[in-house]
């Protein structure tokens, strides 16, 4: 992916895994979240050493429940560069769901 991003002159790319709440996908939990971050740091160092300018971002696609709350602890997310919040359930509800989209985890 880094090679393809370089060919397209991208400055940044994010490689995300789904968080633990989405059971049908290959998921990542808090303890496992550290491993990709370590690997990404190594790759970023290598790219920089070789004179490259591409930066891989440490990230996760976090599942949000129907109340808009995330399924990972805020402390585990603090080491990330990017967190995508995604709704994967209760998507076919017809009433106004604005509050769900505006909700924030505490």
| Total domains present in the chain | 1
Dump pLDDT digits (tens) for 57-70.
Answer: 999 988 887 777 88
Query: What average pLDDT does the chain have?
Result: 83
pLDDT band at residue 101 using 50, 70 and 90 as cut-offs:
low
Count of positions (residues) in the chain:
106
Dump pLDDT digits (tens) for 1-34.
Answer: 888 888 899 999 998 888 887 666 667 888 888 8
pLDDT band at residue 87 using 50, 70 and 90 as cut-offs:
confident
Host domain of residue 12: 2-102
Single pTM value for the model: 0.74
CB atoms under 10 Å from CB of 5, counted, come to 15
CATH of the domain at 81: 3.20.20.140
């Amino acid at each position: 992916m880094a090679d393809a991003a370089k060919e397209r002159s991208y400055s940044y790319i994010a490689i995300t895994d789904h968080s633990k709440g989405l059971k049908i996908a290959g998921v990542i939990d808090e303890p496992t979240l550290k491993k990709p971050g370590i690997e990404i740091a190594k790759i970023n160092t290598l790219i920089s050493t070789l004179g490259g300018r591409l930066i891989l971002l440490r990230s996760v696609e976090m599942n949000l429940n129907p109340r808009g709350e995330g399924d990972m602890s805020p402390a585990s997310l603090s080491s990330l560069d990017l967190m995508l919040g995604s709704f994967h359930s209760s998507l076919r509800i017809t009433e106004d769901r604005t509050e769900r989209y505006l909700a924030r985890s505490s």
